[in-house]
């Protein structure tokens, strides 16, 4: 289930994020319609979390899945995350069951620890192991772990002798936030851990950045598509931009087909220099 031209365990290079969906009841119909449109045009990777609108984003996905059809569930790759406060052995299981119930999806393709918290990694992993045995999740991973935390996580995983391994680390990654390139990305590659980039358009400013706008004009595409193509220049990275605007949803998906040439990448490096020293990760 690996996307063409990709070394990730995901079915697509571009997925749809759902951060801030489900917050407003007045926007529910619009958000379900946006997700339904995304599925209709070919999105197959959906990312959410129990934290997003206290489960509201998962309910939005559930509404879209009803229209998509239960018989087609196997075509999708659905990701959710457990809050650190719920990430005990039993708490992880209960949280996952609740996420599945809100989405009505029977199982999750990937379940992540949203960020490190008070519960020992071994406890979270024991919960994930139980979920794997029950068929409620197909894979597990983490989110927002820096290199030291990821090393601790893998030591805990190895100490338990789990048959399954960590599939990905979901991280804040875009042209203006490149700190993970210094140590974390090489470490993940050495351990066959893919990267899922959230906020690949930054906090919104990248779609108006003069260089990205100019590069887009030269290619006949948008600045957002340039920013997404930059993330996807690495074969083990997927991106999950969020939008509820149909035209932007279409535009983002099309970015998976865009390849930047070395000269374009060099211009981006000049405007957004790669890291020379370790920088802390930002967390969402």
Q: Which residues are tagged catalytic?
A: 52
**Element of type H or E holding 31:** helix 28-41
Q: How far apart are CA 160 and CA 273, in angstroms?
A: 40
- 271: CB partners within 8 A, 6+ apart: 175, 209, 211
Token digits for 166?
A: 């960590």
Q: What is the DSSP code (8-state) at residue 14?
A: B
Token digits for 31?
A: 């958000």
H helices, E strands: number in the chain: 10, 8
Residue by residue, what is the 3-state secondary structure of 149-198? HHHHHHHHHHHHCCCCCEEEEEEECECCECHHHCCHHHHHHHCCCEEEEE
Q: Position of tokens 């969020």?
A: 242
Q: Position of tokens 């042209």?
A: 175
Token digits for 257?
A: 């087909």
């Amino acid at each position: 289930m690996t996307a063409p031209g990709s070394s990730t365990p995901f079915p697509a290079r571009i997925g749809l994020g759902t951060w801030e969906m489900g917050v407003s009841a007045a926007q529910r119909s619009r958000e379900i319609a946006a997700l339904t449109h995304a599925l209709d045009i070919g999105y197959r990777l959906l990312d959410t979390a129990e934290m997003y609108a206290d489960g509201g984003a998962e309910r939005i996905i559930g509404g879209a899945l009803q229209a998509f059809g239960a018989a087609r569930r196997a075509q999708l790759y659905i990701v959710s995350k457990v809050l650190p406060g719920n990430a005990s052995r039993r708490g992880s299981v209960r949280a996952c069951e609740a996420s599945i119930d809100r989405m009505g999806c029977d199982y999750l393709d990937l379940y992540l620890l949203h960020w490190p918290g008070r519960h020992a990694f071994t406890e979270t992993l024991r919960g994930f192991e139980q979920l794997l045995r029950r068929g409620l999740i197909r894979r597990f991973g983490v989110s927002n772990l820096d290199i030291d935390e990821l090393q601790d996580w893998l030591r805990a995983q190895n100490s338990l002798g789990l048959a399954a391994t960590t599939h990905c680390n979901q991280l804040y990654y875009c042209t203006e936030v490149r700190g993970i390139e210094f140590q974390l990305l090489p470490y993940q590659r050495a351990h066959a851990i893919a990267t899922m980039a959230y906020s690949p358009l930054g906090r919104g400013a990248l779609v108006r950045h003069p260089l990205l706008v100019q590069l887009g004009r030269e290619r006949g595409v948008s600045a957002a598509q340039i920013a997404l193509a930059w993330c996807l220049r690495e074969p083990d990275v997927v991106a999950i931009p969020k939008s509820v605007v149909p035209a932007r949803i279409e535009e983002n998906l099309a970015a998976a087909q865009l390849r930047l040439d070395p000269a374009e990448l060099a211009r981006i490096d000049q405007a957004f220099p790669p890291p020379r020293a370790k920088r802390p990760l930002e967390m969402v």
